[in-house]
Structure 1
Amino acid sequence: MNTLIDKYKGIHPGIILERLLNKKGISQRPFALSIDEYPQTINAISKGKRKLNTPLALKIEKRLNLEEGTLALLQTYFDIKEEKNKLEKNTPNLNLLRRSLFWDTDISKIDWQKQSVAVIKRVFERGNDIEKEEIKRFYSNEKIEEALAQGIRKPYTIYRNKEKV
């Protein structure tokens, strides 16, 4: 159990459930019905959109022959990670950033530190002055300069033998 917990600590247990089901070749719907649960519930949990409560975790663990408490502990560690993220306030002021800037992702699930380069590039390419100022406030100038420098290249430039064509 410890290796599974340590390996997946902080990851939503639904994602682990989905991997386990795929690994064993079990479809979600038959699995849900086999443990007397609604398929929609298992689907929502496996997509990380719903928490895994303890009674359901115990049913799943029993059916998949997992050690008792594994998924419940993973849910607890995930909840702890979420709370730490909220307490640390490691997000920019989301009231100043338009959700349309991040149309392709759920803005509440962005890891602002790990995905800083992508966020900085996106805001500086498509953002307005208020959004750029918020990103400047949130990230250090060095981090912004580094991220923007990574994206400098001329489009459609062809190089042959290190010479520009």
Structure 2
Amino acid sequence: MVSYAEKYRGIHPGQVLKRELKKRSLKQRPFVLSIGEHPQTLNAIIGQRRDLNTALALRIEDKLGLQEGSLVLLQAFYDIKKEKEGQRAKTPDFSILRKSLFWDTDIETMDWGRKYKAVIRRLLERGNDQEKKEISRFYGAKKVAAVASSINATFPTP
């Protein structure tokens, strides 16, 4: 049998818990009261507004008969995913991108996240393969592909 940690890696444990309660036809309030916790706490976890701590995870796992540590591992994998997303560079690698592509913009102060469509479009239209690969690495292949499909362009994968 595949463990929760392998099956739902990177997903918030609240989302998995919500699914598990629904699958077992358990209401949130009676369930959370049965394990001695406040309903608001479980609601915040299921709504993914709060992380699942180890003590509560163990009580939930025990009550539902889940493998010990499975929800804790889900929280750890979710935390790793969030950390990796947070570590993503705030700007692309300027040693690869020609500054002449952004002649009309101050690239040092530009909001690369908000202006992603314009940046991707410009690089797909005027950038070389190396620049296209860098922008794909920076924004992610899915985001670049979405913009590319809106302008009918192709891009190389990193």
Short-chain TM bin = 0.5 to 0.7
After superposing on structure 2, the runs of 4+ consecutive aligned residues of structure 1 that deviate more than 6 Å are none
Equivalent position amino acid for 2:57 in 1 = A
Structure 1, unaligned runs of 5 or more: 98-111, 113-130, 151-165
| Local SS of the residue matching 1:60 | helix
Please show how residues 18-97 of structure 1 align to structure 2 within 5 Å.
Answer: 18-89=18-89, 96=111
Q: Report how many aligned residue pairs link the two structures.
A: 115
Structure 2, unaligned runs of 5 or more: 93-109, 125-143, 153-158
Structure 1 residues 19 and 91, CA, compared in 2 at 3 Å: closer, same or farther? farther
Structure 1 residues 47 and 10, CA, compared in 2 at 3 Å: closer, same or farther? same
Moved more, 19-28 or 1-10: 1-10
Deviations 1:63-90 (A, max 9, x none): 0000110000000000000000011237
Match of 1:100 in 2: none
Q: Could you tell me the percent identity over the aligned residues?
A: 44
After TM superposition, the score normalised by the length of structure 2 is: 0.63
Contact 2:121 2:148 in 1 (8 A): no
Match of 2:101 in 1: none
Structure 1 residues 135 and 66, CA, compared in 2 at 3 Å: closer, same or farther? same
- Residue 146 (structure 1) aligned with residue 148 (structure 2): yes
Distance in 2 between the 1:78 and 1:147 partners? 30
Structure 1 residues 91 and 50, CA, compared in 2 at 3 Å: closer, same or farther? farther
**CA RMSD after TM alignment:** 2.9
